[in-house]
Chains A and B, each alone.
Chain A
């Protein structure tokens, strides 16, 4: 899951297994959530997003689950492939002191073992 600090939490999975990456958010007023994938030396790439009026959304091989009761977000990747190895960030959007912009978590590194 997400944590603050110099060392990214790492999730190591076998190729073909399903991956679950977790994210806790703190702002109960957040109404939009998004997952990004960042490969080494590149900018973040959009994976999937979800609004607070939904609790599940599916894409191609990915599913995002939102539990507003416990302020928890998860990204599920089906049949994980070596190309999925990257750092994954969740981000939330909420009105905060008059500013509405994405606030990012610190990321989780996914390592896919062949």
Chain B
């Protein structure tokens, strides 16, 4: 099993550009999550999903959108990138809402 796979690993965006961060898991987990981690800080929940077709907002959803058309994939969309969205983004999945398995992250800079 590859676990949770995130692409790309690094990306630089200009203000106002859009992009999609990809996340895929091969563990047949129902629960999937997107967190962001600012330097020296903990992880803040952006969006999560408890199954295909179901998504919910987390603590910091503004400026982001998600979709969950399959169990395996949970892409995160940034429509109008802003400097405040410079962060490291982690996708995670889990069998229930407890023990999460994380990907290796996407480092995003918005300049």
Contacts and interface: CB of A to CB of B under 8 A. Distances in A.
Nearest to A49: B99
Interface in A2-21: 4-8
Contacts of A8: 40
A43 B98 CA distance: 16
Interface residues of A, number: 26
B105 A43 contact: yes
Interface residues of B, number: 26
B43 A89 contact: yes
A104 interface: yes
A46 to B, nearest CB: 6
Given A34-B98, A49-B98, A93-B97, A101 B40 contact: no
Contacts of A5: 40
B40 A42 contact: no
B45 A101 contact: yes
B102 to A, nearest CB: 4
A36 B104 CA distance: 14
Contact of A107 (B4, B42, B101, B105): B42
A102 interface: yes
B68 to A, nearest CB: 15
A109 to B, nearest CB: 9
Interface of B: 4, 33, 35, 39-45, 48, 56-59, 90, 92, 97-105
Given A42-B105, A93-B98, A104-B42, 4 more contacts: A44-B100, A99-B48, A101-B45, A101-B58
Interface of A: 4-8, 32, 34, 36, 41-46, 49, 89, 93, 99-107
